[in-house]
Amino acid sequence: MTVITATAPAKVNLVFEVGPLKSNGYHDVNSLFLALDLREEITVSGALAGTGISIFVKGDGLPSRHVAAVPTDSSNLVAKVALLLSQKLGIETPDIQIDILKRIPVAGGMAGGSADAAAMLVAFNEYAHREFGTTRLSTAELMDVAAELGSDISFCVLGQLAIGTGRGEQLQPINSLPFETHWVLAISPQGLSTPSVYAKFDELVASSEFSDLSQVAGSVTSVEALASVLSNGLQPAALALMPQLESLIEEIEGLGALKAIVSGSGPTIAALCSSKDQAIEIAKTLNERGIFALTAGSPALGAKLEA
């Protein structure tokens, strides 16, 4: 039986600039995306004839609500990937079992659902090749399919460091940072919905200026320089919806992190640390205080097959 496993990374937006709402319901963004080595894992295997797509979810190091919140029906992005990719490859959608191993918080602003979709694109591309002899799509082709399903999925396919424009799906890969990064991720007890954060942004901010992100990335030669450029245009909106995040940011910076920001649409707080040891220490302190915290770092590759 063919069994294929693939993984894909979480993301943090090092810089996130958001333009005005457009008539298509989306905002143009200008973002510096960094992939983190916190990876979702997807396994695709065959299932009994006529059973369609079955989805099973397990958590790895996450509170149980993150597993409970993941839909196991056709609304899950991994099911949408199976349908769309089957269509593109010219095959009937096969009877398959999809096992999701979740490590990225749900509705946390770290592209957890998008990473599932990215890993599924890579896994199913290979599964269909092995089972049905379809020609494997290239990474660039998989990124085009990704863009049809969501704004962050293409970056989870690509990984590493990239500038994202359009809805965030038009990506220009850039050279990796010349140093490793170490982060503490403080996870809130509730999630935030991305559309509600964008709606709050429209009300409060409406639009932010776009800067030259290749120049910004080029100026980041040390972790301290990175700390000084971290910014998130959606942060005021996320803080308005969850005011308690403001004191969490202060608390984490008070523990010595170089800089803490809301990750993407939040509510995860991503705090850049000066070393791995410091990140582990701060996460330990937060966990002792009852705040669920993880550590993660870069560099991290995009979606890939696992042996």
Let me know if 58 is a catalytic residue.
no
Residue of 37, 102, 116, 152 with catalytic role = 152
CB of 159 or CB of 164, closer to ligand C5P: 164
Residue of 11, 102, 200, 259 with catalytic role = 11
Is residue 126 involved in binding ligand C5P (CB under 6 A)? no
CB of 120: closest distance to ligand C5P in angstroms?
A: 15
CB of 59: closest distance to ligand C5P in angstroms?
A: 22
| Positions in 130-189 near ligand C5P (CB under 6 A) | 150-152, 167-168
* Tokens describing residue 83: 């349908």
Question: Please, are residues 301 and 1 in contact by the beta-carbon 8 Å criterion?
Answer: no
* Tokens describing residue 235: 């942060």
CA dihedral 122, 71, 59, 269 (to 10 degrees): 90
The residue number with the shortest CB distance to ligand C5P is: 151
CB of 296: closest distance to ligand C5P in angstroms?
A: 21
CB of 168: closest distance to ligand C5P in angstroms?
A: 5
Nearest to 89 by CA among 122, 145, 134, 44: 134
Question: Please, are residues 269 and 185 in contact by the beta-carbon 8 Å criterion?
Answer: yes
Nearest to 279 by CA among 207, 192, 182: 182
Is residue 194 involved in binding ligand C5P (CB under 6 A)? yes
Radius of gyration of the chain (CA): 19
Q: Print burial letters for 139-164: b (CB count within 10 Å at least 16), e (below 16).
A: beebbebbbebbbbbbbbbbbbbbbb
- Going edge to edge, which strands form the sheet with 181-186? 259-262, 269-273, 181-186, 293-298
CB of 96 or CB of 143, closer to ligand C5P: 143
**Please, which residues have CB within 8 angstroms of residue 126's CB and are 6 or more apart in sequence?**
4, 6, 136, 305
Residue length of the chain: 307
Let me know if 152 is a catalytic residue.
yes
CB of 288: closest distance to ligand C5P in angstroms?
A: 34
* Tokens describing residue 281: 């220490």
**Please, which residues have CB within 8 angstroms of residue 74's CB and are 6 or more apart in sequence?**
53, 80, 83
Interacting span for ligand C5P (CB under 6 A) from 53-61, 85-93, 191-199, 291-299: 191-199
CB of 24 or CB of 64, closer to ligand C5P: 24
CB of 54 or CB of 165, closer to ligand C5P: 165
| Positions in 234-253 near ligand C5P (CB under 6 A) | none
CB of 157 or CB of 279, closer to ligand C5P: 157
Binding mask 1-40 for ligand C5P (x = CB under 6 A): ------------------------xxx-x-----------
Is residue 264 involved in binding ligand C5P (CB under 6 A)? no
CB of 1: closest distance to ligand C5P in angstroms?
A: 33
CB of 31 or CB of 278, closer to ligand C5P: 31
How many residues of this chain bind ligand C5P (CB under 6 A)? Answer: 12
Q: Where are the beta strands (DSSP E) in the chain?
A: 3-21, 27-46, 53-59, 96-102, 161-165, 170-173, 181-186, 231-232, 259-262, 269-273, 293-298, 304-306
Q: What angle (nearest 5°) sits at the alpha carbon of residue 210, between those of residues 203 and 236?
A: 35
Contact positions vs ligand C5P (CB under 6 A): 25-27, 29, 150-152, 167-168, 194-195, 198
| Residues designated catalytic | 11, 152
